[in-house]
């Protein structure tokens, strides 16, 4: 089955860090841009960050700049999201998705531009 699998979520205190992983299962990632999205309770899914196929260009939603870092290891078929200085409002279900092309758009990731999705990993920021 072709799918993306997210991992690395959990419960963390405010100010803490987590690193999320997105691995392709039967699905190659290295020719495509990959995006991270988040869905907070009661809110719509929002785009957080995108990385192009070669890993040398990234984009971030304004609210994530300086705290989140996206990266990839194509040899491992995996994309990462390093999240620092976490806040309670970062709580939500985090998804990765494979974009339809190799490059990222200059705006925050839009769901309609992504085809394959994972099932998400839960991040809870609470004391």
pLDDT at 96: 97
Mean pLDDT by 10 residues, the chain (127 residues): 92 98 91 96 95 96 90 96 96 96 92 93 97
Q: How far apart are CA 117 and CA 20, in angstroms?
A: 15
pLDDT at 83: 97
Nearest Cα residue to 51 out of 71, 74, 81, 31: 71
pLDDT at 22: 97
pLDDT at 63: 82
Q: Are 83 and 36 in contact (CB under 8 A)?
A: no
Centre a 10 Å sphere on the Cβ of residue 111 and count the other Cβ atoms it contains: 14
């Amino acid at each position: 089955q072709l799918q993306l699998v997210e991992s690395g979520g959990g419960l963390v205190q405010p100010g803490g860090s987590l690193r999320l992983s997105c691995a392709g299962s039967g699905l190659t990632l290295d020719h495509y841009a990959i995006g991270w999205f988040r869905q907070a309770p009661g809110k719509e899914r929002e785009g957080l960050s995108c990385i192009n196929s070669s890993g040398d260009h990234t984009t971030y939603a304004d609210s994530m700049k300086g705290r989140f870092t996206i990266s990839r290891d194509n040899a491992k078929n995996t994309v990462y999201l390093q999240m620092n200085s976490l806040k309670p409002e970062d709580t939500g279900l985090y998804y990765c998705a494979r974009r339809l092309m190799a490059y990222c758009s200059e705006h925050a990731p839009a769901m309609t531009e992504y085809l394959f999705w994972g099932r998400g990993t839960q991040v809870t920021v609470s004391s």
